[in-house]
Chain A
Amino acid sequence: MAGPAFQSYDECRREIEALRLKLAEAENRLAEAQDVIAAIQAGEVDAVVVSRPEGDQVFTLQGAEYAYRTLVEAMNEGAATLGVDGTVLYCNQRLSDVLGIPLEQIIGSPVANLAVHRAKHEFEAFLAQARSGEPCRTEIEFLTGDSRQIPVYVSLRDMKLGEPALCMVVTDLTESKKREELVASGRLATSILDSAAEAIAVCDEIGMIISANEALENLIGFNPVFQTFESALPLELNAESAGGGKRFSIAEAMRGVTVRGQEVHLVRKHGHPVSLLLTASAIKASSGIVGCVLTMTDITERKRAEEALRASEARFRSVLDSSRDFIYRADLQTGHYEYVSPSVRNVMGFSPEELLSVGQKVSLAMVHPDDLPVVQAWLARLADTGEGELEYRLRVGNGEYRWLSNHASITKDSAGRPLYRNGSVRDITEKKTAEAALLQSEKLASVGRMASTIAHEINNPLETIGNVVYLASTDAGISPAAKSYLDIAVQELDRINHITRQTLAFHRDTSIPIPVDLRESIEGVVKFFTPRLASRDVDVTRRYADVGRIMAFGSEIQQVVSNLLSNSMDATPARGRIEIRLAQTCGNDGDKIRLTIADTGSGIHPHQLAKVFEPFFTTKEMHGTGLGLWVTKQIVEKHGGTIRVRSKLGSGTVFSIVFPIAEVAKAQ
């Protein structure tokens, strides 16, 4: 509260002293007046002389009554005197005006009739209380002549005139009630403003702040009322928005353009800048725009939190992005991917965008058909288990199948419904290949062990047979026919010896390669197969160009031809055709011999074609060892040659082998 401003303590003390003297004088006068009133009431006084600067004045009782009557008629309150039964004996014009009831109707009526019906009893109680000598005041509602209820303040007291009579003063509260309401609503508005978390400023038409709430004061640290908005709050538009960096002006809002959710910075001399979300709108009256209301929400913390979140998200994303595995999040409701890390390109050969656009259905379609049921079962089980890992094959961007390991977990909502599947996928093709190779080498090793245990048993009888066949064939007494049979036996024994040695590969070969005529090798094999070929009516045509010889182990070359011809025969239906060709080819690294064996058989499935030279790969189920073509390839490569296969399902298969023509062989 503002008080008088004192220049010094002495000045203040002098003022207090003066006030104290004034108070003492006023108290004396009051005491004198009370004495006079008491004397008048007691009838001890007929006249009172009041001393005044312009001379003494004499007041008689009669004069006093006239004066009182004038006073009563002139006063702004309604006044009345009441008889002991509550009948109105007299009332002034003001009371008649307030109630809108003629004087003559009021006078002579019971005063209680003036009160509204529901307050009548209460009013009569007041009357009784006043009659008992106790003055009483109350707020009550009176009924006007036109049936309005008006709030009044009623004061009743006993007049103490010897006979019982009451005096009543009525104050019309209608106007003051209105004022109270206004004040109350003003207070309400202020309290609403002050309780608002947003800073709110109300400006007049020239841009001066005429009202500011507590939040605004707290924001800027002072009361900005009667300052222009732009000087009290220098706001800068957010750099990211249009017109970034410029000062905010309320001119637009004053023109009637509502600003909604504009991000601004409050520029402060000290401390960090504050980020605000600003809304401004004009106050429109019938006369046009009379000002504007500006609301500002402090979003500094929110911005900071957002920034922190962005930074942490960027950190996580950089971790995800740099991961060798690809990481995904799939929405289980929509079946779409929500996030796919960039390394999906390395793993699957698709861009993240490609995978995001196709969804899980398409990615499931890329799973290897053999693995699909397992993958589907696994996905279904995940909903229960919550977490799991599965290895399966997937056709990637270049059409190849890769082995993937998918480690996934399910995110559920509070009701336990699965929402998302989060997972990381790793390319484990190399690991799988290594595992397969290991498995294969283990298979080979076990075959080797098996071979070693039976080798002795095979080789020793072969030694004996070789010896006795030799003895029989060198016996002078045998017929030429028997001799030719035994020669075949010797040749076949040689083949057996080489097959066991080559296939089981457990002895160092002690013999050396010799020049071999491929035509002789082929003819020998065809002759051996002739009975089987004839029984199936399969024709074997041979076309030999004049080719040189190769340096080789003859029995091994026979084994190569035998393996290929045997396969062709198995694949070729009755009355089919097999063609064996020998041709000379010229390469960069010298002349070569091409041996081709083509059949009109069933062909090899494209999936299997790449595997035909792998050990233990067979399409012959129980009958094949899966070693024939593998051994063939080993032999060809041992001779410095290459072997190729091409096949068309249902049309046939062509194996072609290229052998180098050795210098030694050429010379001979």
Chain B
Amino acid sequence: MPKAIKATILVVDDEPRIADTLAIILRQAGYAVHAVYNGEDALASIAAHPPSLVIMDVVMPGIDGIEVAKLLREAHPNLLVLLFSGNADTQQMLDKAEQRGDAFEILAKPVPPPQMLAKIASLLDQISFSIANQDRV
């Protein structure tokens, strides 16, 4: 069943199977999805085509998810970033980031697809709500 494209999402995970399957699920749900497999490609992709939402793994070779998220927060303050991770060290990385003033929301892998879809929907609702408010103001 064809659906109207709701929003553009960038999926970043160093495991292509995760990035690709999640991208398929999100496309089936009606989003425009692009998948990349590392932090550098993510930054390049966002610079070229800024998405509405970035779903990003934390522990990756090269520049990690939290670093990318921080850079994005400076360059694209309105861009939503949802982190997800399966690694125990993630919590410590987040705590450190939080101590420096950068708080991020994170989901624990594995995230069941229905839960992921619900989360994305609510996040995007927030943006459209705040954009709508901004428009009104």
Tell me if B107 and A467 are in contact (CB < 8 A). no
Residue A231 is within 8 A (CB to CB) of chain B in the complex:
no
Quick one: which of B21, B87, B88, B108 contacts A464, CB cutoff 8 A? B21
Closest beta carbon of chain A to B82's beta carbon, Å: 12
For the complex, what is the distance from the CA of A458 to the CA of B87, rounded to whole Å? 9
Given contacts A460-B18, A467-B21, A467-B22, contact A455 B110 (CB under 8 A): no
Tell me if A510 and B25 are in contact (CB < 8 A). no
Quick one: which of B22, B108, B109 contacts A508, CB cutoff 8 A? B108
B interface, over-half SS: helix
Residue B77 is within 8 A (CB to CB) of chain A in the complex:
no
Residue A451 is within 8 A (CB to CB) of chain B in the complex:
yes
Tell me if B22 and A507 are in contact (CB < 8 A). no
For the complex, what is the distance from the CA of A494 to the CA of B17, rounded to whole Å? 20
Quick one: which of B22, B24, B28, B87 contacts A456, CB cutoff 8 A? B87
Chain A residues with Cβ below 8 Å from B115 are 511
Tell me if A464 and B112 are in contact (CB < 8 A). no
**Total chain B interface residues with beta-carbon distance under 8 A:** 24
Tell me if B59 and A456 are in contact (CB < 8 A). yes
For the complex, what is the distance from the CA of A506 to the CA of B87, rounded to whole Å? 8
Residue A468 is within 8 A (CB to CB) of chain B in the complex:
yes
Point out which of A458, A462, A465 has the most chain B C-beta atoms below 10 A from its C-beta.
Answer: A462
Residue A493 is within 8 A (CB to CB) of chain B in the complex:
yes
Tell me if B89 and A452 are in contact (CB < 8 A). yes
Nearest-CB residue, chain B, relative to A462: B110
A-facing residues in B78-118 (Cβ within 8 Å)? 86-91, 107-115
Given contacts A467-B22, A471-B21, A474-B28, contact A455 B87 (CB under 8 A): yes
Point out which of B17, B24, B113 has the most chain A C-beta atoms below 10 A from its C-beta.
Answer: B113
Tell me if B108 and A494 are in contact (CB < 8 A). no
**Total chain A interface residues with beta-carbon distance under 8 A:** 30
Nearest-CB residue, chain B, relative to A500: B110
For the complex, what is the distance from the CA of A43 to the CA of B133, rounded to whole Å? 189
Chain B residues with Cβ below 8 Å from A97 are none
Residue A515 is within 8 A (CB to CB) of chain B in the complex:
no
B-facing residues in A414-472 (Cβ within 8 Å)? 448, 451-452, 455-456, 458-460, 462-468, 470-471
For the complex, what is the distance from the CA of A333 to the CA of B25, rounded to whole Å? 87
Given contacts A455-B88, A456-B59, contact A466 B112 (CB under 8 A): yes
Residue B40 is within 8 A (CB to CB) of chain A in the complex:
no
Given contacts A506-B91, A508-B91, contact A470 B112 (CB under 8 A): yes
Tell me if A501 and B108 are in contact (CB < 8 A). yes
Nearest-CB residue, chain A, relative to B16: A464
Chain B residues with Cβ below 8 Å from A474 are 28
Tell me if A470 and B25 are in contact (CB < 8 A). yes
Tell me if B18 and A464 are in contact (CB < 8 A). yes
Tell me if A510 and B107 are in contact (CB < 8 A). yes
Given contacts A459-B86, A463-B86, A467-B21, contact A493 B15 (CB under 8 A): no
B-facing residues in A487-535 (Cβ within 8 Å)? 490, 493-494, 497, 501, 504, 506-511
Tell me if A459 and B110 are in contact (CB < 8 A). yes
Could you tell me which B residues sit within 8 Å of A by CB distance? 15, 17-18, 21-22, 24-25, 28, 59, 86-91, 107-115
- List 14 additional contacts besides A471-B21, A510-B107; criterion CB under 8 Å: A451-B88, A455-B88, A458-B86, A459-B108, A460-B15, A463-B18, A463-B109, A466-B111, A467-B18, A467-B113, A468-B21, A470-B25, A493-B112, A494-B112
Query: Can you offer 6 A-B residue contacts whose CB atoms are under 8 A?
Result: A460-B15, A462-B110, A464-B17, A467-B113, A474-B28, A510-B107
